Amino acid sequence: MVIHMTECKEIIQVDHVNLWYGDSLALRDVTIGMPDRQVTALIGPSGCGKSTLIRCLNRMNDLVDTCRIQGTVNFHSKNIYASDVDPVDIRRKIGMVFQRPNPFPKSIYENVSYGPRVHGIKERKQLDAIVEKSLKRAALWDEVKDRLHDSAMGLSGGQQQRLCIARTLAVEPEVILMDEPCSALDPIATAKIENLIEELKTEYCVVIVTHNMQQASRVSDYTGFMYMGELAEFGTTRQIFEAPRETLTENYITGRFG
């Protein structure tokens, strides 16, 4: 299966982005597009800027004082760094799931309903419906439907991670960013998340950072290989893992590095 870039609409376009933490340049002239309803994976050695790049996509880097960004990140062709854009609104539309599951120390129900409530939904029935729908989409409903009011901290790691995904889905985002979502999970929980990603991409644009080459090749449609703050190669996942163009990419994915 070969998909050409031109066939897919890019929902996010990163254009000539440079990013500094203080004086040190962490992203160097990065240009990359994330097609809608596809999974884009970012791979590369530790410290190459994967998390920095994925955090650029929903302005999470705003939270770092020393961080300075140049260039544009367009979401539906509008620069999310424009002065009239509300970062909170961006983070609702472009949700993020982190490496370590981080549920609030509250009930499962409250974890999922928190976002919608913050966004002004008060009616119980409506919240119930959102909670059920989100948990179903996150493939967690069957496991928790009888204990929605138990503490989320009592869930297993894999369940907690799916709860975090449900929490992200509850506010109806268009893009889901995942920074190493499986690295704290066992193989069974990992497989569940991978299956879920497959499901999610029918409705969302998914961007995933992973250190696991096999995972990137299993779940993604496109892969970007980053190296020292640059996007060294971008292509269909098939092409990157079957016949990469750059020697750097080849050496990295075949484990001939350093």
Ligand X SMILES: Nc1ncnc2c1ncn2[C@@H]1O[C@H](COP(=O)(O)OP(=O)(O)OP(=O)(O)O)[C@@H](O)[C@H]1O
Partner in contact with 141, chosen from Mg ion, ligand X, other proteins, none, beta carbon below 5 to 8 Å by kind: none
Distance of alpha carbon 177 from alpha carbon 11, whole angstroms: 13
Q: What's the farthest any 2 CA atoms get from each other in the chain? A: 57
250 scored as a contact of other proteins (CB under 8 A): yes
Q: Which of 66/214 has CB closer to other proteins?
A: 214
Q: From the list other proteins, Mg ion, ligand X, none, which binds 21 (C-beta under 5 to 8 Å, kind-based)?
A: ligand X
Phi, psi of 182 (to 5 degrees): -110, 0
DSSP state string for 128-146: HHHHHHHHHHTT-HHHHTT
User: In the set 52, 134, 220, 249, which binds ligand X (CB under 6 A)?
Assistant: 52
| Residue that is written with structure tokens 């060294």 in the block | 232
The partner in contact with residue 98, picked from ligand X, Mg ion, other proteins, none with C-beta cut-offs of 5 to 8 angstroms by kind, is: none
C-beta of 33: minimal distance to other proteins in Å? 23
Q: What is the number of other CB atoms lying within 10 angstroms of the CB of residue 136? A: 14
Give the binding range for ligand X (CB under 6 A) out of 41-49, 123-131, 144-152, 241-249: 41-49
DSSP 157: H
Cβ closer to ligand X: 20 or 114? 20
Size of the site for Mg ion (CB under 5 A): 1
Q: Residue 140, interface with ligand X (CB under 6 A)?
A: no
Residue 47 interacting with ligand X (CB under 6 A): yes
Looking only at residues 218 through 247 of this chain, which bind other proteins when binding is defined by CB under 8 A? 241-244
Burial of 118 (0-12, 13-18, 19+ CB in 10 A): exposed
CB 42 within 8 A of CB 50: yes
SS3 192: helix
Structure tokens at 253: 């994915």
Q: Is 73 left (phi over 0), alpha (psi -120 to 50) or beta?
A: beta
- Confirm or reject binding of residue 101 to ligand X (CB under 6 A): no
Q: Of residues 38, 51, 220, 223, which one binds ligand X by CB under 6 A?
A: 51
Interface positions with other proteins (CB under 8 A): 213-214, 217, 241-244, 249-250, 253-257
Interface positions with ligand X (CB under 6 A): 21, 26, 44, 46-52, 64, 66
